């Protein structure tokens, strides 16, 4: 009896691996092209880290004329949620991270290196497991979960390194005859890798991000095919990244310690190992302590949060690049208007330790990103958001011509307004410009320096009667407010006011404030000249009337 007999008994129908090696030939790509991927598990609530990984992988592929694909790692079926795959695809799409190959929906895919969903690749894994068994590099293990647990307990009480290795690996030395007999008797088993490693030897690994790292060799006989017939992540990843031609595996650094095992698997399978780039975990500052951002505690950990809040995907990507490459900020300063795909991303410049994720900074970036958009773009994007999340805003925006004027205030000029960080800010930002919202609601007018009723009345009345002309240009408009101030005995210039303490009770700025508050019930607004232009005479009159009541 040989290993081959054992392999044939376990996987009678598995194909020879040469079939797959031919079916998935080496990719024909230019020198230096990077093939990169994201390989999330469909466990629900896509993490912002997946978007981060996807962005980096997409960027590397773009910069080198390579390929970026999405693989779904669904071999842990206990953790899978129902629409997990669609959520992943949709989230990447929401951030405009479009793969060249891979899953395009829960059950469709594109590309010649598929299937791209691990649960559809069972036959492939079986072929490679069979290949390893044939060579004596993998074996059936008959230990029950209870027995494995027993081993772990013994190791723990003896303070010995835990795991299935060396003398603890009971089934590794079972003879082929014995194994065949057990299988024929119907005993249950899983398949383990027979590690050739020794714990007292070191391996050197060069990680693209972490640099040179030394590890003890792997000596664990890890499970490669589980009781449910599906592979473990370790085994599946080696086969998939080999057959799919991945050149750089980018993944979270929680996998760094698995590198010795993975390199060993590549070696024993006869594959050339890819390069690895282990990205640092996204951290958050929690009361002075840095910790991992977690789906359980932090709403911003979920990719869906940005869509729900209406933070533009472009701003999030811009911020993620900021975290990824610290020189991005300088590049952005020097090139304020270039699209981010012109930024030369360098994976080897990513931070070795944790990357701090700061919502305040992200929102600041978002304000800048939105400030550069045209009124039309802001209109379309807030409308799309409102349709899903805010009926009242949707209704306000239904008057497109007027809304474009409102959103156009202080936009498209050298110093555009930067007061919108997300689409969910828009309503609060513009609602006072809509007469049906403003006039039909009680407003609180918090007058400042000039706050006496008679004076306010005089200002508003006289302004409308004598100093407001709908077609005035900005200089004339402002001169008129100065004249108004003068006529009512206030200083026409702030300078004059300061130079003559005691002479005036207020100055032109204070008069403007009265006009502003009467118009909007706000102390701070964008440019009042533009506001008046958009409102028009009739609305201004109604607003003054309301203020005087
Ligand atoms: N499925 C693994 C995870 O979600 C992916 C690791 C990898 O990219 O290889 O962590």
Ligand 1 pocket member 53 (CB < 6 A):
no
**CATH 1.10.10.350 is held by the domain 453-548:** yes
Note the pLDDT tens digit of each residue in 242-297: 999 999 999 999 999 999 999 999 999 999 999 999 999 999 999 889 999 988 89
Ligand 1 mean position to 39 CA, how many Å? 5
CA 209, CA 311: separation in Å to the nearest integer?
Answer: 29
pLDDT of residue 454: 95
Confidence of residue 153 (pLDDT cuts 50, 70, 90): very high
CA 321, CA 56: separation in Å to the nearest integer?
Answer: 8
Residue 112 CB neighbour total at 10 angstroms: 10
Please give the share of the chain, as a percent, with pLDDT higher than 90.
95
On the CB side of 78, how many CA atoms lie within 13 Å of its CA? 4
Residue count (the chain) = 549
Ligand 1 pocket member 240 (CB < 6 A):
no
Confidence of residue 158 (pLDDT cuts 50, 70, 90): very high
pLDDT of residue 324: 94
Ligand 1 pocket member 75 (CB < 6 A):
no
Note the pLDDT tens digit of each residue in 109-138: 999 999 999 999 999 999 999 999 999 999
| CA-254 nearest atom, ligand 1 | 10
User: What's the rounded mean pLDDT across residues 315-319?
Assistant: 97
Ligand 1 pocket member 39 (CB < 6 A):
yes
Ligand 1 mean position to 73 CA, how many Å? 7
pLDDT of residue 48: 95
pLDDT of residue 498: 95
CA 376, CA 382: separation in Å to the nearest integer?
Answer: 10
Ligand 1 mean position to 143 CA, how many Å? 28
Confidence of residue 217 (pLDDT cuts 50, 70, 90): very high
As a 3-state breakdown, the chain gives helix, strand, coil percent values, each rounded to 5, of 50, 10, 40
Ligand 1, atom 2, residue with closest C-alpha: 40
pLDDT of residue 549: 87
Q: Is 211 helix (H, G, I), strand (E, B) or coil?
A: strand
In Å, what is the CA distance from 86 to each residue of 371, 402, 496? Answer: 32, 38, 66
Ligand 1, atom 10, residue with closest C-alpha: 40
Report pTM. Answer: 0.90
Ligand 1, atom 3, residue with closest C-alpha: 40
CATH for the 3-15+122-279 domain, from 3.30.460.10, 3.40.50.620, 3.30.1390.20, 3.10.105.10: 3.40.50.620
Note the pLDDT tens digit of each residue in 478-537: 999 999 999 999 999 999 999 998 999 999 999 999 999 999 999 999 999 999 999 999
User: What's the rounded mean pLDDT across residues 349-363?
Assistant: 91
Q: Quick check: 44 pLDDT over 90? A: no
pLDDT of residue 193: 98
Ligand 1 pocket member 85 (CB < 6 A):
no
Ligand 1 mean position to 41 CA, how many Å? 7
Ligand 1 mean position to 251 CA, how many Å? 6
Ligand 1 pocket member 251 (CB < 6 A):
yes
Ligand 1 mean position to 216 CA, how many Å? 23
Domain range summary for the chain, segments of one domain joined by +: 3-15+122-279, 375-433, 453-548
| CA-43 nearest atom, ligand 1 | 4
CA 451, CA 445: separation in Å to the nearest integer?
Answer: 10
Ligand 1 pocket member 118 (CB < 6 A):
no
Q: Quick check: 414 pLDDT over 90? A: no
Ligand 1 pocket member 40 (CB < 6 A):
yes
Instruction: Give the DSSP letter of residue 273.
Output: P
| CA-38 nearest atom, ligand 1 | 8
Q: Which of 36, 37, 40 to mutate to test the pocket of ligand 1 (most atoms within 8 A of CB)?
A: 40
Q: What is the mean pLDDT of the chain?
A: 96
Ligand 1 pocket member 73 (CB < 6 A):
yes
User: What's the rounded mean pLDDT across residues 451-464?
Assistant: 96
């Amino acid at each position: 009896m040989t290993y081959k007999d054992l392999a044939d008994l376990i996987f009678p129908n598995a194909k020879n691996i040469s079939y797959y090696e031919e079916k998935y030939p080496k990719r024909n790509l230019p020198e230096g092209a990077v093939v990169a991927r994201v390989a999330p598990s469909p466990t629900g609530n896509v993490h912002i880290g997946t978007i981060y990984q996807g962005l980096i992988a997409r960027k590397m592929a773009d910069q080198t004329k390579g390929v970026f694909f999405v693989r779904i790692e669904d071999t842990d079926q206990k953790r899978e949620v129902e629409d997990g795959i669609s959520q992943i695809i949709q989230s990447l799409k929401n951030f405009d991270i479009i793969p060249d190959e891979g899953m395009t929906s829960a059950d469709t895919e594109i590309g010649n290196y598929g299937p791209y969903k691990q649960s559809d690749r069972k036959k492939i894994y079986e072929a490679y497991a069979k290949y390893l068994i044939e060579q004596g590099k993998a074996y059936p293990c008959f230990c029950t979960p209870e027995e494995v647990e027993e081993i772990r307990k013994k190791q723990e009480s003896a303070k010995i390194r835990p795991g299935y290795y060396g003398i603890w690996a009971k089934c590794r030395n079972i003879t082929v005859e014995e194994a065949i007999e057990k299988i024929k008797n119907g005993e249950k088993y899983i398949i383990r890798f027979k590690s050739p490693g020794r714990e007292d030897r070191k391996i050197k690994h060069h990680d693209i991000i972490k640099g040179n790292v030394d590890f003890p060799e792997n000596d664990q006989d890890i499970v490669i095919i589980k009781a449910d017939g599906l592979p473990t992540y370790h085994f599946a990843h080696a086969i998939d990244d080999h057959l799919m031609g991945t050149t750089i595996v980018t993944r979270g650094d929680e996998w760094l310690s698995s590198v010795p095992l993975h390199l060993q698997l590549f070696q024993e399978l006869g594959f050339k190992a890819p390069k690895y780039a282990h990205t640092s975990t996204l951290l958050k500052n929690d009361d002075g302590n840095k910790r991992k951002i977690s789906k359980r505690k932090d709403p911003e950990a979920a990719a869906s949060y940005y869509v729900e809040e209406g933070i533009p995907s472009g701003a999030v990507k811009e911020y993620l690049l900021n975290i990824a490459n610290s020189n991005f900020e300088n590049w952005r300063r020097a090139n304020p208007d270039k699209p981010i795909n012109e930024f030369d991303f360098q994976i080897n410049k990513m931070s070795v330790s944790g990357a701090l994720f700061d919502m305040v900074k992200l929102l600041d970036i978002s304000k800048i990103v939105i400030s550069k958009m045209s009124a039309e773009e802001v209109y379309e994007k807030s409308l799309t958001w409102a349709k899903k999340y805010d009926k009242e805003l949707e209704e306000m925006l239904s008057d497109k011509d007027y809304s474009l004027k409102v959103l156009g205030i202080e936009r498209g000029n050298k110093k555009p307004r930067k007061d919108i960080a997300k689409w969910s800010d828009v309503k609060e930002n513009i609602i006072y410009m809509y007469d049906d919202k403003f006039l039909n609601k009680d407003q609180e007018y918090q007058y400042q320096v000039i706050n006496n009723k008679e004076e306010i009345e005089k200002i508003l009345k006289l302004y409308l009667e004598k100093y407001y002309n709908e077609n005035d240009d900005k200089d004339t408009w402002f001169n008129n407010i100065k004249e108004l101030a003068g006529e009512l005995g206030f200083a026409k210039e702030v300078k004059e006011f300061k130079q003559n303490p005691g002479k005036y009770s207020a100055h032109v700025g204070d008069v403007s404030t009265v006009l502003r508050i009467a118009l909007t019930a706000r102390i701070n607004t964008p440019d009042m000249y533009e506001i008046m232009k958009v409102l028009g005479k009739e609305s201004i009159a109604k607003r003054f009337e309301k203020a005087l009541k």
